[in-house]
A = this chain, B = another copy of it.
Amino acid sequence: MQKIKAAVVGLGFIGPAHVEALRRVPTVDVIGALHFDLESSRQKTQELGIAKAYGSFEEVIADPEVQVVHICTPNAMHFHQAKAALLAGKHVVCEKPLATTIAEAEELVALAAQTGLVNAVHFNIRYYPIVRQMKVMREKGELGDIYSVVGTYLQDWLFKDTDYNWRLEPEQSGESRAIADIGSHIMDVLEYITGVRIEAVMADFNTVHKFRKKPLKPVETYSGKMLTPEDYQDVPINTEDHANVLLRFSNGNRGVITVSQVSAGRKNRIDLEISGSVSTFHWCSESPNNLWIGNRDGANGQLMRDPSLFHVEARSVVSFPGGHNEGFPDTSKQLFKEVYQAIAAGKQPEHPTYPSFADGLRELIICERIVESNKKQAWVTV
């Protein structure tokens, strides 16, 4: 069996998660990786058991063996790397956000279309099996017309003013933080499940910590909590710790989302409540294998992630039988399974089952409108 050869670029928090997930897909071989430079790449590939260590991004895309590039670098690098990889004829799986401006993202979508190469954005939340099942149930009419969505995505890894990370710096991460980082996931999955489009937004941002203490050595995402604070400098913070956004949907009904990175005790919790004219769906990422189904006229339902209980259309993203919990690492595996089926077929399908660059662009547009709404303190059409 000839496996598809992938290289992963950026080995901070999420890059190694890509590597591990890719190895679970029988058709993929992770042949090489790049961290910052040759030395750091050598150290990381040694730890991760990857054969080749690259010294630069140019080396990665110049390697004729590499068929697919996974971009897991800080946000500001996504556009240039994705563009270069496409131009080098590589399929690209990019971390979100796809780019830091709409213009860049539009360029990538156009370029990807031109080349016909497979392009995907790692909106992995779609691949919790219950999320796929909700989408299929909605398509079958089991939710009905969407009345209301209430979504929250809460974290506490930036709870203290001593918590620091590159994501706090607009030049690396972009103008919006909580909305772009985690709000984008929740909006992507919301549109994915419900099938309605967000047509207008009204946002209210808040920066709880106007200043933070920046450490004098580098810290990986999520790992700050494990450090002992030592030497810091005070830096002003311009991006939001917390935001509420009102939403209006294409069907005339409404929603609201809340994101926070300063919510003590909520480590990384997505909570979605979607009410429709037939039933209500409630799902929370802390109990990702369960779907609550609200009914007006009978008992509510509690559907477990179990292929034998799922609609046929949702079974392909489930690997294990009911009661054998799957979690965060499994979402990337399922996403990559679908992406690599397309790669095996040689080109981006017309209607990909996985999130594409077009979806990455969509989230950038929504996020930019949200930022604009917050500035204007008024409703903005998406």
Q: Which A residues contact B (CB, under 8 angstroms)?
A: 1, 3, 13, 17, 20, 23-27, 46-51, 147-148, 150, 152, 154-157, 159-160, 202, 204, 206, 208, 222-223, 225-226, 241-242, 244, 246, 248, 252-256, 258, 260, 262-269, 273, 275-280, 285-304, 306-309, 319-330, 377-379
Chain B residues with CB under 8 Å of A157's CB are 321
Given the interface pairs A148-B260, A265-B294, A278-B264, the reply to whether A309 lies near B299 with Cβ below 8 Å is yes
Residues in chain B near residue A285, CB distance under 8 A: 323, 325
Q: For residue A54, give the distance in angstroms from its CB to the closest CB of chain B.
A: 16
Contacts of A206 in B (CB 8 A): 147-148, 252-254
CB–CB B320/A309 < 8 A: no
**CB-nearest residue of chain B to A257:** B256
Q: How far is the CA of A299 from the CA of B311 in the complex (A)?
A: 12
Minimum distance in angstroms from A255 CB to a CB of chain B: 8
Bound Cα distance from A170 to B276, whole angstroms: 25
Q: How far is the CA of A266 from the CA of B148 in the complex (A)?
A: 13
Do the beta carbons of B242 and A204 come within 8 Å of each other?
no
Which of B27, B256, B301, B329 has a CB less than 8 Å from the CB of A301? B301
Asked whether A1 and B299 contact (CB < 8 A) given A24-B24, A206-B253, A327-B324, the answer is: no
In whole angstroms, what is the CA distance A246 to B203 when docked? 9
Residues on B with beta carbons closer than 8 Å to the beta carbon of A263: 147-148, 273, 275, 280, 294
In the complex, are the beta carbons of B208 and A267 less than 8 A apart? no
